[in-house]
Amino acid sequence: MSQRHLSKLCIQAEKKLAQLGQKRDDSSLKVQLNQQQNQALANMILTYRGAKEGSNVLLWQNSASMAQVLEPMRVKLAQKEVFLQQEQLRIERLWRNQLGRQQGLKWLEKQTNIQEKARVARSEQAIVDDMAGFYYKHKR
């Protein structure tokens, strides 16, 4: 694999990692927002269920009805939270896998650079040795 090809792969891996990192952040925000909405709805339901409007039966019925209307919404938010958390875990796995790929490519690129420098140094040393041998023979 050529050095240039390896560098391109490293750049692509970094871009993909950045994209997945953004998706990971977005997913986390969605989960947090859903949890906040779910908590707010649960608080509203508790408020309506706990409403004791004294002797006014109509207000008590309205509060009970409101709690009944809100409950299915809370259930849907809870279901959505499970879905969002599963999606967050999926994206996290993809991000971790991509991080491993990116780090592996960086390591390979570094090792390739080290090996190439060593090869060039050996080649240059061989040329210097040949030249030294040539001059030594002709000087005698």
Give the model confidence (pLDDT) of 65-113 as tens digits: 888 999 999 999 999 999 999 999 999 999 999 999 999 999 999 999 9
Token code pair at residue 40 = 């707010």
Percent of the chain with pLDDT over 70: 95
Domain layout of the chain by residue ranges: 3-103
Judged against a pLDDT cut of 70, whether residue 54 lies above it is answered with no
Q: What is the helix (H) or strand (E) element at residue 53, kind and residue range?
A: none
Q: Tell the residue number behind the tokens 């998706």, with chain if given.
A: 23
Yes or no: say if 130 and 52 are a contact pair by the CB < 8 Å rule. no
Residue type, 111: Q
Residue 18 is predicted with a pLDDT of: 96
Yes or no: say if 77 and 44 are a contact pair by the CB < 8 Å rule. no
Residue 55 is predicted with a pLDDT of: 63
Mean pLDDT of 26-45: 95
Yes or no: say if 37 and 91 are a contact pair by the CB < 8 Å rule. no
Confidence of residue 52 (pLDDT cuts 50, 70, 90): low
- Alpha carbons 37 and 42: distance in angstroms, whole number: 9
Confidence of residue 63 (pLDDT cuts 50, 70, 90): confident
Considering only residues 17 and 3, tell me which one the structure prediction assigns the higher pLDDT. 17
pTM of the model: 0.73
Yes or no: say if 64 and 49 are a contact pair by the CB < 8 Å rule. yes
Considering only residues 49 and 37, tell me which one the structure prediction assigns the higher pLDDT. 37
Residue 12 is predicted with a pLDDT of: 95
- Alpha carbons 31 and 41: distance in angstroms, whole number: 15
- Alpha carbons 11 and 86: distance in angstroms, whole number: 29
